[in-house]
Amino acid sequence: MVMAVPVLRSALPTPVPPPPVLGTVPDFRLVDQTGAPFGPERLSGRVWIADFVFTRCPDVCPRMTERLAGVQRALGEQADVVSVSVDPAYDTPERLAAFARAHGADSPRWHFLTGDSGHVQEAVLRGFKIAFSRDSEDIATITHGVHVVLVDGRGRIRGYYDSNDADALERLVRDARRVADRPSS
């Protein structure tokens, strides 16, 4: 008599794949908070998160920066953060550095960028696909999206996350770790 032997399945969970590729980061030429030239090639091979802020913003940008400081601390060496100013005519490298210090974002893995207004607008709108408009020199007319963008080490956009949503930011941390752990995916 032949007895059937049950097949044991592995108790290990199936690994969750990294998020899909949604686009490619635009080529941009800006300067960081130290005044050094900065383009996406500086982060080649590194996972990074981009957001879009301005230093004169009275409420949204400081809160977004403080939330991302928590994300950056959670990710540590696994990811950099890149904050692009949407008010580049005002936001000098010195002002960006002061803003970073004031909001707990002065990690060596955090890059605040500014530069030519046309280059910034091109990168934000057409490259990162983030809402951005400015109707006059009055800062009250600056409108920009609050989503942050996850970028893999090959310069590919892997996700958009609402910076006002705690669950979305937790998902960002998990996704960034998965992308960092599987750089060829």
Residue-wise pLDDT for 7-38, tens only, equals: 555 566 667 788 999 999 989 999 999 999 99
Neighbours of 177 (CB within 10 A): 16
Read off the CATH number of the domain in which 170 is found.
3.40.30.10
- Residue 67: the pLDDT is 95
Residue whose C-alpha is closest to residue 18's, from 159, 169, 127, 129: 159
Evaluate whether residue 16 is within a structural domain: no
Evaluate whether residue 171 is within a structural domain: yes
Evaluate whether residue 3 is within a structural domain: no
DSSP per-residue codes, 61-130: HHHHHHHHHHHHHHHGGGEEEEEEES-TTT--HHHHHHHHHHTT---TTEEEEE--HHHHHIIIIIIS--
Could you tell me the two tokens for 62? 């400081």
Helix (H) or strand (E) holding 175: helix 166-181
User: Is the pLDDT score of 177 beyond 70?
Assistant: yes
- Asked if 49 contacts 79 with a C-beta cutoff of 8 angstroms, the reply is yes
Evaluate whether residue 43 is within a structural domain: yes
Q: How far from 63 is each of 37, 38, 105, CA to CA, in Å? A: 27, 25, 12
113-122, 135-144, 145-154: least confident range: 135-144
pTM of the model: 0.88
Q: How many domains does the chain have?
A: 1
Burial class (CB in 10 A: 0-12, 13-18, 19+), 6: exposed
Between 139 and 59, residue with greater pLDDT: 59
Evaluate whether residue 8 is within a structural domain: no
Evaluate whether residue 82 is within a structural domain: yes
Q: How far from 35 is each of 6, 10, 28, 52, 87, CA to CA, in Å? A: 66, 53, 15, 18, 16
pLDDT classification of 182: cutoffs 50, 70, 90: confident
> What is the chain's length?
185
Evaluate whether residue 114 is within a structural domain: yes
pLDDT classification of 148: cutoffs 50, 70, 90: very high
Evaluate whether residue 18 is within a structural domain: no
User: Is the pLDDT score of 135 beyond 80?
Assistant: no
Mean pLDDT of the chain: 90
What is the average pLDDT across 169-179?
96
Q: What is the pLDDT of residues 60-106, one digit of tens each?
A: 999 999 999 999 999 999 999 999 999 999 999 999 999 999 999 98
Parent domain of 163: 23-181
Q: CA-CA distance, 150 to 75, in Å (whole number)? A: 12
- Residue 60: the pLDDT is 93
Could you tell me the two tokens for 143? 């409108």
